[in-house]
Structure 1
């Protein structure tokens, strides 16, 4: 009897060990489309701060990769912020460039900075759209900011405050004072009256859906919102274009023109005319050091998730990640667009017949 119990116990133990081994084992070598065995590969997403839109959506993409790929696995790692991702990958540990997907934001000095690393686009993630806003109805144009205190984004080399500062100067604003800060700091300055006018973000879902952000709604609780950069969109877009290429931090390479136009009424009844605004793209990228087949696999899974709307449950901005959105960029020249996408992503998009498009069309 004791022997039977011992045999049963040993059999159960063997089954448990076998099951445990199966659940924790890494992905086995999987055959490729050509029949060749694919070696397991692991990528990490440098995705900014936990809780940020791009961090959450990168976590979603990593989840899809782990579920859908037979040989590729992924995880998300936090950094000091979205503009810090590229800086990390431009560090001394060059091996990271072949294993890390980069959540890249334009502008950013580190995108064009010293060193040979260049983040090449895999697919668009989201857009950070900002507009000048005020409760003062007498501020109709950017030139009317003269003599006022204005709240602008943080003044850092990897930031984008210089675009708004240049816009004010090019529009003829004089003797204005600046309060720099993050979105929350700017909202506080505007809400408390420390600044009369400033920039705040709003929501945009490609291709043509606009909505007030929570920041604009909170500011609007203090009074009627007015947008001082309405009308004359052709001239306004030219100002944005020039403002994007006059920053000392971008070095020898000029940024593309990061200007778009919101149709009248997009942000409420007081937006009576079409309005040009600054839009800074945020996209998934990889250096040329990352193998082409790895980026191809990431792009394939990203495209399928975008097609099926799989990002929507993870974040409100997920509904803007569509197949058409993935291949958008601000690079107006076709040759330049081709050069700014990773070869692995280009291969996938060409195979399914998707063209690379620009927001400025």
Structure 2
């Protein structure tokens, strides 16, 4: 059993022992990806808001949602951070889940969109996605099955495929950023605003975030063949490391999710903490400035909201 699973199991056992108490006496965990990743930053921010609201919360890092979604589904830890598409695939058993369903997953609330790009050195000759042809691009992502179809979606906007690049196989986005900083790759994919992107920006003397090649409806349809929840967003120059000019990037919804068996009052408290805790979360992680609490009850796709979250949404008029 890994350190993550041992710690998460301990957190779950603690919750079971105090289940008769109030939600404010609970100790709960949020599963995240590794430090430096977007989901780790998000989980830390949400945990800070929950703690300030009286729900004792810790984060438990793992390599990726591939690992911790099934653990949340089994009740091993109470909450997790992921993007909506991978949660929907996990619930339905589609794509890399190979028919294995996670039926106990429930959504707590929608967050701000995950905005993503391929990053290269600002001083390189790579200015567009087309310029990546033949270059060394991170690939493989054996511990994060979500990344390859996301790469495919980005490349599709330029009528390219992963075969157009020279692959540098890595396990995760964090490993991909490290390979780039070690000069083993010419580009890497990551979420805008993540800590690892800021580290890479400082390490190489500046990044360039490559925009989508085409922001037309036709290009979006091509991207959605690989990542169905994708949409395009415009970002202002200087709004995030690597955004050197006003440009369009790919994005998709992300969520806090939970297990169907987590008590309603605990999920209610978490939803409330998120809804009321924007300032705390934004202070911890700046991208939460784009979080709109009124959007927490969006369309969850094939997934369902937890009853505790629905109770809170009804109280604040989001039903």
Aligned partners of 1:56, 1:186: CA distance in 2, in Å? 22
With over 3 angstroms needed to count, the CA separation of the structure-2 counterparts of 1:103 and 1:190, relative to structure 1, is: closer
CA contact (8 A) 1:121 1:342 kept: yes
Task: Tell me the C-alpha RMSD between the 2 structures.
Answer: 4.1
Q: Look up the SS of the partner of 2:225 in the other structure.
A: helix
Which residue of 342, 351, 354 maps to 2:306? Answer: 342
Aligned partners of 2:169, 2:269: CA distance in 1, in Å? 41
Aligned partners of 2:292, 2:117: CA distance in 1, in Å? 24
Aligned partners of 1:131, 1:50: CA distance in 2, in Å? 19
Which residue does 2:223 correspond to in 1?
A: 240
Which residue does 1:150 correspond to in 2?
A: 137
Greater relative contact order (Cα < 8 A, sep 6+): 2
CA contact (8 A) 1:230 1:274 kept: no
Matched, 1:44 2:28: yes
Which residue does 2:247 correspond to in 1?
A: 274
Shift of 1:239: 2.5
Matched, 1:80 2:58: no
Matched, 1:131 2:117: yes
Shift of 1:241: 1.0
Which residue of 149, 152, 168 maps to 1:179? Answer: 168
Aligned partners of 1:185, 1:64: CA distance in 2, in Å? 33
Question: What TM-score do you get using the length of structure 2 for normalisation?
Answer: 0.69
Larger Rg over CA atoms: 1
Matched, 1:258 2:214: no
> Which sections of structure 1, spanning at least 5 residues, go unmatched?
1-25, 31-37, 68-72, 205-210, 245-255, 356-361
Which residue of 177, 192, 203 maps to 1:202? Answer: 192
Matched length: 285
CA contact (8 A) 2:168 2:185 kept: yes
Shift of 1:131: 0.6
Shift of 1:214: 0.8
* Correspondences of 1:1-361 after superposition (within 5 Å): 42=26, 44-48=28-32, 52-65=40-53, 67=54, 74-76=56-58, 78-83=60-65, 84-91=67-74, 96=75, 100-108=78-86, 110-113=90-93, 114-125=100-111, 127-135=113-121, 139=126, 141-152=128-139, 154-156=141-143, 158-165=145-152, 167-168=154-155, 171-173=159-161, 174-181=163-170, 182-191=172-181, 193-203=183-193, 213-215=197-199, 217-218=201-202, 221=205, 225=208, 227=210, 229-244=212-227, 256-263=228-235, 265=237, 266=239, 271-272=244-245, 274-279=247-252, 281=254, 283-306=255-278, 309-328=279-298, 336=301, 340-354=304-318
* Cα deviation code 1:24-57 (max 9, x no counterpart): xx99989xxxxxxx79873522323685313422
Aligned partners of 1:236, 1:212: CA distance in 2, in Å? 28
CA contact (8 A) 1:120 1:340 kept: yes
CA contact (8 A) 2:137 2:188 kept: yes
